[in-house]
Structure 1
Amino acid sequence: MSEQIGAIALEKRLPTVFGYREHVVHGGLVSYGVDLRWCYRRAGYFVDKILRGAHPGDLPIEFPSKLWLAVNLKTAKALDVAVPPGLLARTDEVIE
């Protein structure tokens, strides 16, 4: 689905902003949000606790404390969008 959204946005020459980096990997322009890879690792941690006997209601609720900024420079070039150097300096991941 991410690939289709990225392809259509590029075809229509629409810059896109997403909440997950996976969309940027598949052609989106920018994403800013939680890193799903971190979420999956934490889910594994909680599954392990539950399988070892912890009661799910006793486990804490967590939300990532760091948001992930990703920029796809290939898409920016295709859309003729200039990405400010200040934004690039703050990115966690630049896809070229």
Structure 2
Amino acid sequence: MQQHTTVIDKAAMALSGGLMLLGVVVLGIVEILAGKPYSAAPLTNEAGEVIATPMVDPTLRTGLVLAGILVLALYGLYKLVAPMKGAAATTQQDVTAD
């Protein structure tokens, strides 16, 4: 069985992959280049004052990754519902019993 990618296939793969790479890799490199702290939570001192926060909000990074997963889920639902091209249609035939 041959697999042919359509425009929708390529768009879904590019969009979901791009969103996840942006959220994980690109913004991770931005965080590393920005310096410490590397954690998602702000650093506080003993008095409870915030002394350092991450450069990119962790909810933004999480949102980008979840958006990529959502695009993949919607693409999967589309592939589940859309009819396959070139698939032989089955028809019911009346058969007389002996």
Q: Place the TM-score, normalised by the shorter chain, in its bin.
A: 0.3 to 0.5
**Which TM-score applies when normalising by structure 2?**
0.35
TM-score (normalised: structure 1): 0.35
**More strand, by proportion:** 1
Which is bigger in relative contact order (C-alpha 8 A, separation at least 6)?
2
Bigger radius of gyration, 1 or 2?
2
- Structure with the largest fraction of helix: 2
